Chain A
Amino acid sequence: MRFTFFHLMPYRPLDMTERHKHRAGWVVLPNSLYDPKKGADEYQAYIDQLVYAEELGFDVIGVNEHHQTAYGLMPAPNLIASALIQRTKKAKIAILGRALPLVNNPVYIAEEFAMLDNLSKGRIITGFVRGIGNEYHASGLNPFFSHERYQEAHDLIVAAWTRPGPFSFEGEHFNLRYVNLWPRPYQQPHPPIWIPSMGSSETIKWAAAPERKYPFLVTFSGRDLVARYLNMYREQAKQYGYEASGDQLGWASPVYVADTDERARAEAKAGIETLFNDFLAVPWEMLLPPGYMSLSSMKNTMKMRKALGTRARHSMEELIESGTVVVGSPQTVRDQLARLRDATGANNLVTMLQFGVLPDDLTKRNMEMFASEVMPQLR
């Protein structure tokens, strides 16, 4: 297996009482709740953790993009990637990902990734996403055109990386007379593109197409959904006439390891529950703006929602039960991860070993335990 150490960089000093006076930890959460002195310390601690992950033997270190939120302090993940390039030697650096529909000229994304690829001499893995629904409230961009803009931006970026410039690009949303990248990417024909997704049949069909074969990562889902989506990808590949390799399949999950199950559960609880209930949780009007998913998918989602009723807070125990998070002794964690790997043939595991308010000392020990007691056995 290939292991990624992934970070969201949450703002841990958040006053949770204040947080819940607002509808979400996103977009409308007053930034007077952000203390720059504490925030600067957060960046330093988190970058140290990412650098330490290379030393511990992780193959990939990963960051991502979110806007106007205490959930993740990386509106510009390439800035962090650039800092990581200077402090690491061999780990791949994954930006999982940039939200393509949100920019008015996707060539800038192609340029920044090409720069990072040159700066790192080919250690960059890119991720192409649409951004979480909240991003459309933060940016003001019309979610109805999210899919269209994503497709078009993807085509433009890949063309910018691979076609000799200058050339012109004629799209519905993006029209450019001159596309001519300086620098061109270091990796040929271009840096790898991974597709992190909550899972949708349209995305799977698109990512698995023979001309793309993009690695697909299921995020924030219980084990049954992870297995279902990854097997959908496999099936789709078969329909396209090829066998998907394990490198095309992966999933992302918060993981916490300690010497016993009891200790792991006690130490992880606050971090897990703040991640899901305080940082991530948003009302559906923010998470699923109209057009973010297709009308037919949205109709189904709303019916499911109606059937489920209003959701109370998630408990860690319930998240462990569904396999959305993996928490326990080395044996427990190894078994659960191996079972999902064997059920899906996935070769990519994206771990979140810091989550929610989990403090630095526990994060460090979690990383060390995972690297020594879990990673070697699963390789």
Chain B
Amino acid sequence: MALQELRHKTRDVSVRLYRDGKGEPLVFLHGAAGPPPWGPFFQTLAGRHDVLVPEHPGFGLSDNPPWLRNVGDAAMYYLDFLDGLGGAPLHLVGHSLGGWIAAELAMRNGARLKTLTLMSPAGLRVKGVASGDNFIWSLEETARNLFHDQAFAERMLAHVPSDEEADIALTNRFSATKLGWEPRWFNPALERWLHRIVAPTLVLWGRDDKFLPSAYAKRWGECVPNARVEIIPDCGHLPHVEKADSAAQKILAFIGGQK
């Protein structure tokens, strides 16, 4: 199967959906910058799974429903979204903001989840370990702070966005602000309720993450009952970009190990 770009409707909300591959469904919830480019990470996953990457409501070309006010709303929306995919068990993977949404979804109702993978998720606070202030960073600081290997940052900075890309980046920045500005990238209730996650959970983190420090991974490991924590060396906040093969292989191995 080739990569498809689709419109997908759940109740009154139409979103953009990328889909490729065959096998048990794997839903990927993207971070604050929107769906990542379809590269080796997704291609590897699509070798074994029916990979679905929805663009969150309020992001990119998806609808922006007025009722979406916080991450809890996004989590409830994705429960509806999963119901709309039929009854089969599935694998949920979330990165950063998407990891936060995935965790909030899983602690509300994990009945559909065969596994949960949280890649450098937002959502928890570790007192004394500040997250990076992505809202004050310039474009250059953002690029530099997202990656361990600065060659990735150079490529990101060298890219001149088209008008459409710039508009989408701004749309995403607005929605990320709505969801993540205050309290900054966390929900204080999470620590109280993450014990409700029943799915086997993989927490993946880049050791050199300058946005959400890898020290947070330990806290996630303590809060989620069946969690395995893996730290990826020489990697920043985007393991699926900077260590695409290794991140995808770890996820596949984790999923495979649960059968």
Q: Which of A12-44 contact B (CB under 8 A)?
A: 23, 27-28
Q: Report B173-186 CB contacts with A as 1/0, cut-off 8 Å.
A: 11011100110100
Residue contact A285 to B177, C-beta cutoff 8 Å: no
Min CB gap B73→A, angstroms = 13
Which residues of the partner chain B approach A141 to less than 8 Å between Cβ atoms? 182
Q: How far is the CB of A269 from chain B (nearest CB, A)?
A: 30
Which of the listed residues A27, A290, A303 has the most CB atoms from chain B within 10 Å of its own CB? A290
Interface membership of B131, Cβ < 8 A: no
Contact A142 B177 (CB under 8 A): yes
* Residues A285 and B136 in contact in the complex (CB < 8 Å), given A290-B174, A291-B174, A302-B170: yes
Q: Tell me, in angstroms, the Cα distance from A289 to B137 when the chains sit together.
A: 11
Inter-subunit contact B170/A143 (CB<8 Å)? no
Contact A298–B170 (Cβ < 8 Å): yes
Cβ-defined partner of B170 (8 Å) among A136, A142, A289, A295: A295
Kindly list chain B residues whose C-beta atoms are within 8 Å of the C-beta of A142. Answer: 177-178, 181-182
**B residues in contact with A295, CB < 8 Å:** 170-171, 174
A299 at the A/B interface (Cβ < 8 Å)?
yes
Chain B interface size, under 10 / 10 to 19 / 20 to 34 / 35 or more: 10 to 19
Instruction: Judge whether A144 is part of the interface by a CB distance below 8 angstroms.
Output: yes
Interface residues on A, range: 20 to 34
Q: Are B167 and A290 in contact (CB under 8 A)?
A: no
Residues of B within 8 A of A136 (CB): 181
B135 touches which one: A145, A285, A298, A303 (CB < 8 A)? A285
> In the complex, what residues of B have CB within 8 A of residue A298's CB?
170, 174
Known: A295-B171, A298-B170, A299-B170. A144 touches B136 (CB 8 A): no
Question: Once bound together, how far apart are the Cα atoms of A226 and B149, in whole Å?
Answer: 48
One digit per residue, 1 when the CB lies within 8 angstroms of any chain A CB and 0 when it does not, for chain B 129-140 equals: 000000111100
The docked-state distance in angstroms from the alpha carbon of A136 to that of B181 is 10
The one of B138, B176, B184 in contact with A290, judged by C-beta atoms closer than 8 angstroms, is B176
Closest A residue to B167 using CB positions: A299
B166 at the interface (CB under 8 A from A): yes
Q: Report whether B174 and A144 are in contact in the complex, using a CB–CB cutoff of 8 Å.
A: yes
Across the interface, name the chain A residue whose C-beta is closest to B64.
Answer: A295
Residues on the B chain within 8 Å of A283, using CB = 138
Q: In the complex the two chains form, is A140's CB within 8 Å of B167's CB?
A: no
* A295, closest chain B residue (CB): B174
CB of A122, distance to nearest CB on chain B (Å):
38
A145 to B174, CA, bound (A): 11
**A296-333 toward B: CB 8 Å interface, digit per residue (1/0)?**
00110011001000000000000000000000000000
Say yes or no for A137: interface residue by CB 8 A criterion. yes
B174 surroundings in chain A (CB, below 8 A): 144, 290-291, 295, 298
Query: Once the chains bind, are A291 and B167 in contact (CB under 8 Å)?
Result: no
Q: Which residues of the other chain, A, contact B184 by a CB distance below 8 angstroms?
A: 140
List of A residues within 8 angstroms of B137 by Cβ: 285
In the assembly, what is the distance between CA of A143 and CA of B173, in Å? 12
| Listed A/B pairs (22) with beta-carbon separation below 8 Å | A23-B136, A27-B136, A140-B184, A142-B182, A143-B181, A144-B174, A144-B178, A145-B178, A283-B138, A285-B136, A285-B137, A286-B136, A289-B135, A290-B174, A290-B176, A291-B174, A291-B178, A295-B170, A298-B170, A299-B167, A302-B170, A303-B163
A interface list, Cβ under 8 A from B: 23, 27-28, 136-137, 140-145, 283, 285-286, 289-291, 295, 298-299, 302-303, 306
